[in-house]
Amino acid sequence: MPAKSRRPVKGASAPAPAAESGTPADVVAGTGTLPRRSDGPQVRPKNGLDRYFEVSARRSTVGREVRGGFTTFFTMVYIVLLNPIILTSIPGLDGTLGADVSGTVLPFPAIAAVTALIAGVMTILMGVVGRYPFAVAAGLGINAIVAVFAATQLSWPEIMGLIVLEGLLITVLVLTGFRRAVFEAIPPQLKTAIAVGIGFFLTIIGLADAGIIRPGIPLISFGVNGQLAGWPILTFIVGLLLMSVLVVRKVRGGLLIGIVATTVLAIIIEAIADIGPRISNGEEVNPRGWALQVPALPEDVVSTPDLSLLGNVSLFGGFERIGVLAAVLIVFSLMIADFFDTVGTVTAVGAEGNLLDKDRNLPRSQPVLLVDSLAAAAGGAGSVSSNTTYIESASGVADGARTGLASVVTGVLFLVTMFLSPLVLVVPSEAAAPALVIVGALMISQIRHLAWDDLSLVIPAFLAIALMPFTYSITNGIGAGVISFVLLRLAVGRRGDIHPLMWVISVLFLIYFALEPLQQLL
């Protein structure tokens, strides 16, 4: 356990109260554990499954966990299609999309199948070992970085080998207790800001997935040429209104009901209007089309998964191709992104489910962090990029999930996706995006716990909140918040508020932000 700071941080946030629909009202706020005997009667587990996952202890039910697992799955299953799109979207040196420096292109169906396989296995492992409702899949942002490195510097086996190494390095940090110590060293005020920032991040992801906001001039544009045009956008709006009503009315499973109902509406609209996709071959060809999946009923429901990419890695080939120092910098950048993305996600999802303790830490976090680090290595070993804990897990938590049983359900659904991908991918992003916006709103409500009367705390919190959605990166937001927190607490003479590890984290982030000029010097 890390040493405590000598003085408490002024304005440290209090545990968040119980929140949204589907949340058991009698959960002890901020703990996520069984109440003390003095707080009320003990809850007897109904069976071995209940006892192991602490379903009754966390004031949940098996039905809630199953429902939450389905909700999480439907809000993140898009990764099965999006991950291969991203990994094959960067032109190689010869101009071929998805080609690495040797001209090799990873097969799209194989990426999709292994993406589902690794997500399924690691999410089940997260549920069984971590016993929290966190789902795992290929990390967005990291996969884009991987695609760029493959197109410009490394072969696919070489870059995936570096991902395996960074995952193993993080695993070592977990086993030594360093990763948990870093998690607990971040002050409560900044942890609250991280949760709020991720709420805004989820919101902007949802709006972008629905086509409400798009790249434009000067920065982003509203809909299609400033108008809410097209049936897909209307589908999103209907879904958002429906889910809002269900959540406000505290209908159990409101988010899941909304996703299913909106998907049915989308299928009907596509069958009548034949809208088609918005993007083809990496270019927007139909501004009024569906953002990712076209909600059309498939001719074939069952597909045979292609798992040929498993084990296609070269652990040290990257060091030979680009040199030791350049390879080490790539591993470092991937490790920092993986490391702190998980810190932010676990904090935010844990806060949403009232699973954190009074210091805004997750009880028994070590197994969660261990599975997450192994998932990074597993993603590299499967040639589908680093896997990490997904912020979309918050949607399942918002629908009632409180235990690892929900993760087991989500993981099983990912494994089923390998064989039923044509059917599962009928759900368009416009049907899942409203759930992300709703969950974003619920998470943003924690902003009331920030200490607004102390600018030396407000400015770091604001930077963390603002940079997450504006840079599309949880890591960037945490880095800006940590560096500014250390600087400003030092400036106001509150050195004792700075945990010793915060100095180490600040230096690591300074190096991380300076990686580009460092790489140019090599």
Give tens-digit pLDDT for 271-303.
999 898 887 766 777 888 888 778 888 887 888
Mean pLDDT of the chain: 85
Query: At residue 32, does pLDDT exceed 70?
Result: no
Helix (H, G, I), strand (E, B) or coil at 222: strand
Q: List the structure tokens of 237.
A: 């709006």
Q: Is residue 304 part of a domain?
A: no
- Count other C-beta atoms under 10 Å from residue 272's C-beta: 9
Residue 28 forms part of a structural domain: no
| pLDDT for 451 beyond 90 | no
Residue 38 predicted with pLDDT over 50: no
Contact 369, 323 (CB under 8 A): no
With H, G, I as helix, E, B as strand and everything else as coil, classify residue 300. Answer: coil
Domain that holds residue 248: 37-299+314-521
What is the DSSP pairing of strand 387-389 with strand 283-284? unpaired
**Strand pairing report for 387-389 and 279-280:** unpaired
Q: Which residues contact 114 (CB under 8 A, 6 or more apart)?
A: 307, 309, 310, 382, 383, 384
Mean pLDDT of the region 127-134? 96
What whole-number distance in Å separates Cα of residue 391 and Cα of residue 407? 13
Q: Can you give the pLDDT at residue 86?
A: 82
Amino acid at 120: G
Q: How confident is the model at residue 484 (pLDDT cuts 50, 70, 90)?
A: very high
Q: Tens digits of per-residue pLDDT, 407-437?
A: 999 999 999 999 987 777 788 889 888 988 9
The two structure tokens encoding residue 64 = 């809630």
User: pLDDT tier at 31 (50, 70, 90 boundaries)?
Assistant: very low
Percent of the chain topping pLDDT 70: 90
Lowest mean pLDDT among 20-34, 212-226, 282-296, 371-385: 20-34
What pLDDT shows up at residue 244? 95
- Answer yes or no: is 25 within a domain: no
Q: Is 82 exposed, middle or buried (0-12, 13-18, 19+ CB in 10 A)?
A: buried
Distance CA 348, CA 354 (A): 10
Q: What is the mean pLDDT of residues 439-449?
A: 85
Non-local (6+) Cβ contacts of 368 within 8 A are: 126, 130, 132, 134, 346, 362, 389
129 vs 303: CA distance, rounded Å: 30
Q: Determine, yes or no, domain membership for 307.
A: no
What residue type is assigned to position 55 of the chain? V
Across the range 318-341, mean pLDDT stands at: 87
Q: What is the pLDDT of residue 294?
A: 86
Does 423 fall in a domain? yes
Residue 193 within any structural domain of the chain: yes
Q: What is the pLDDT of residue 210?
A: 83
Average pLDDT rounded to a whole number, residues 174-192: 89
* pLDDT level of residue 522 (50, 70, 90 thresholds): low
Cα 35 from Cα 58, distance rounded (Å)? 9
Burial class (CB in 10 A: 0-12, 13-18, 19+), 76: buried
Average pLDDT over every residue of 190-206: 88
Q: How far apart are CA 169 and CA 206, in angstroms?
A: 33
The least confident of 9-13, 120-124, 190-194, 359-363 is 9-13
> Which residues, other chains included, contact 220 with Cβ-Cβ below 8 Å and sequence gap of 6+?
213, 214
Query: Over 80: is that where the pLDDT of 475 sits?
Result: yes
Higher pLDDT, 289 or 522: 289
Asked if residue 11 has pLDDT above 50, the reply is no
458 within a domain of the structure (yes/no): yes
Cis upstream peptide for 218 (omega within 30°): yes
pLDDT higher than 90, residue 397: yes
H or E element that contains 137: strand 136-138
* 3: DSSP letter: P
Rg of the chain on CA atoms, in Å:
22
Q: What is the DSSP string of 242-282?
A: HHHHHHHTT-TTHHHHHHHHHHHHHHHHHHHH---BSEETT
Helix 142-152 and helix 324-352: axis angle, to 10°?
A: 160
Distance CA 461, CA 191 (A): 9
Is 191 a domain residue?
Answer: yes
Could you give the 3-state DSSP secondary structure of residue 73? helix
Report which of 500, 475, 433, 455 is spatially closest to residue 209, judged by C-alpha positions: 433
Quickly tell me which residue has 């997260």 as its tokens. Answer: 126
Q: Look at the alpha carbons of 265, 301, 125, 66 in this order and tell me if their dihedral is positive or negative.
A: positive
| Domain count for the chain | 1
Q: How many CB atoms lie within 10 A of CB 202?
A: 29
Residue with tokens 């607004």: 452
pLDDT over threshold 70, residue 18: no
> d(Cα 348, Cα 366) in Å, to the nearest integer?
17
Instruction: Report the pLDDT value the prediction gives residue 366, as an integer from 0 to 100.
Output: 92
Q: pLDDT tens digits for 217-264?
A: 667 777 777 778 889 999 999 999 999 999 899 888 888 899 889 999
Per the CB < 8 A criterion, the answer to whether 71 and 435 are in contact is yes
